A and B are shown apart, each in its own frame.
Chain A
Amino acid sequence: MTVTSALKVENLHKSFGNHEVIKGVSLEAQKGDVIAILGASGAGKSTFLRCINLLETPNSGDVYLAGEKMRMKQNRHGETIPEDIRQVERMRTRLAMVFQGFNLWSHMTVMENILEGPLYVQKIAKAEAVEKAEALLEKVGLSDRVDYYPAHLSGGQQQRVAIARALAMDPDVMLFDEPTSALDPELVGEVLAVMRDLAEEGRTMLVVTHEMGFARDVSSKTVFLHKGEICEEGSPAKLFTKPATDQFKAFLARIN
């Protein structure tokens, strides 16, 4: 019996102008996998993540979500574009993203931020959506901040709201783009704790991060990107105790 992977990326390439940032990266995540993506800045980690939900359009390569391929085509200038934007939008609702800069909508309260997707994209009944949003806020420990605006929250609180907002869509896969990099050191822990809970619940997650502790302890698989290519990948136990490549050794030495 073949199991369809939750997310499969095949031979992804992305260039900005003449500069090739991603040089043929493939990655597969089974349901419940937590994949930590490491790499020095400029290695292409964020770009890779952003290509998965088409915030950046890859030059070539395929993305499959639960077996469904994101269909792309070439326009008359030879650029790759989505074949059907509706399909892309539908797939994006199943691929929630959490950003480094939180990106909460500043004119909406915490509750409105969380309700936006379920109400207006997924068109779920309001009572049901509100009930779910309240449960999610409780999960991220912010039940007492329902009517606050983002500007009145700390970075850690904003990021936890952003995680609740992503969870509200009930996504199949969650993409985390350096979720703790913009936080003051004392606020990192509260966000990582929420992410640990999600991992334990069996959420499928791709996490671009500089938190080695999180990668080592929580991820089911760790991937090290170097200059747009996967340089090393495998279980964190293996990678962190016996790094195989000089690049990864050097990276670990620099981090520690």
Chain B
Amino acid sequence: MELILEYQSQLLAGTLMTIKLALVSLIISVLLGLLGAWAKLSGNRVAQKTADVYTTVVRGIPDLVLIMLVFYGGQVTINAIGEMSGLWGYLEISQFIAGVGTIGVIFGAYFTETFRGAIMAIPRGQIEAGISCGMPRLLIFSHIIWPQMVRYALPGFTNNWLVQLKTTALVSVIGLQDLVYNAFTAGRSTGQLFTFMAAALFIYLILTAISDIALRALDRHYSRGVVRA
């Protein structure tokens, strides 16, 4: 315990980095998920195919492989393009951007499917009722689709989010100092790896518990009018 207190600032910094990674990548994946779900349901062939390729490819590749590919391969590619076109000089992708971007893109694919399913669960007639009242598209989305979509999407969303939060641990392989990285470093330098890994585990549990409470509150808010069995 004393050891942990001694290293508390590292653990705290790691925890904050983990939270930052998770939240920023969550925003990216939710936006990509909405875009992907829209593309899949748009009826536009090109958009549909693009979204299909995106979800199939991304969901089929191990997260770790993608993270390393983007971090090491992405940098080389961007600089090669810069050199060939002469548009920009040497660029360095920061570990944070590579990590957040990759995790965001990976989970965007899962959110695409979650949101697509949620939108399809809304009875078509309710949308037609909106159309026949003369509601413009945006109003139909914000007043009829969104509130019900959130409700249908929440169980899948919760799942995705919890996995996403834990997946941020993978970025320690590209040297980003998140909770796992810092706990591991502290554990190695003190020779008390078990103690620090236990501390990390405990912190992850606290984070997921907080998420659970917040998501339950959201679920209550968006379950208006639902008859519970």
Contacts and interface: CB of A to CB of B under 8 A. Distances in A.
Same complex for A and B? Answer yes
Interface of A: 53, 55, 85, 89-93, 95-97, 99, 101-109, 116-117, 120-121, 149-152, 162, 165, 169, 175
A169 B133 CA distance: 8
* Max chain A Cβ within 10 angstroms of own Cβ: one of B133, B144, B148: B133
B44 to A, nearest CB: 13
27 contacts: A53-B132, A55-B131, A89-B135, A90-B134, A92-B133, A97-B129, A97-B132, A101-B123, A101-B125, A103-B129, A104-B129, A105-B144, A106-B123, A106-B126, A107-B148, A107-B151, A108-B225, A109-B225, A120-B139, A120-B143, A121-B134, A151-B225, A151-B227, A152-B227, A165-B133, A169-B133, A175-B132
Interface in B134-188: 134-136, 139, 143-144, 147-148, 151
Contact of B224 (A92, A102, A121, A149): A149
B134 A117 contact: yes
Given A93-B134, A103-B125, A121-B133, A116 B227 contact: no
Given A55-B128, A108-B225, A149-B224, A103 B134 contact: no
A151 B151 CA distance: 16
Contact of B129 (A91, A105, A121, A151): A105
A92 B131 contact: yes
B139 A121 contact: yes
Nearest to A55: B128
* Max chain B Cβ within 10 angstroms of own Cβ: one of A104, A109, A162: A104
A128 to B, nearest CB: 18
Where chain B touches its partner, the secondary structure class is helix
Nearest to B136: A89
B61 interface: no
B177 to A, nearest CB: 43
A34 B73 CA distance: 70
A154 B42 CA distance: 34
A104 B134 CA distance: 15
Contacts of B222: 107
A120 B133 CA distance: 10
Interface string B199-229: 0000000000000000000000010111100
B20 to A, nearest CB: 33
B132 A107 contact: no
Nearest to B125: A103
B133 A103 contact: no
Nearest to B131: A55
Contacts of B130: 105
* Max chain A Cβ within 10 angstroms of own Cβ: one of B123, B143, B144, B225: B225
Contact of A120 (B128, B135, B225): B135
B134 A107 contact: no
Given A89-B134, A97-B132, A103 B227 contact: no
Given A103-B125, A105-B144, A116-B143, A96 B132 contact: yes
A101 B151 CA distance: 22
Contacts of B133: 92-93, 96, 116-117, 121, 165, 169
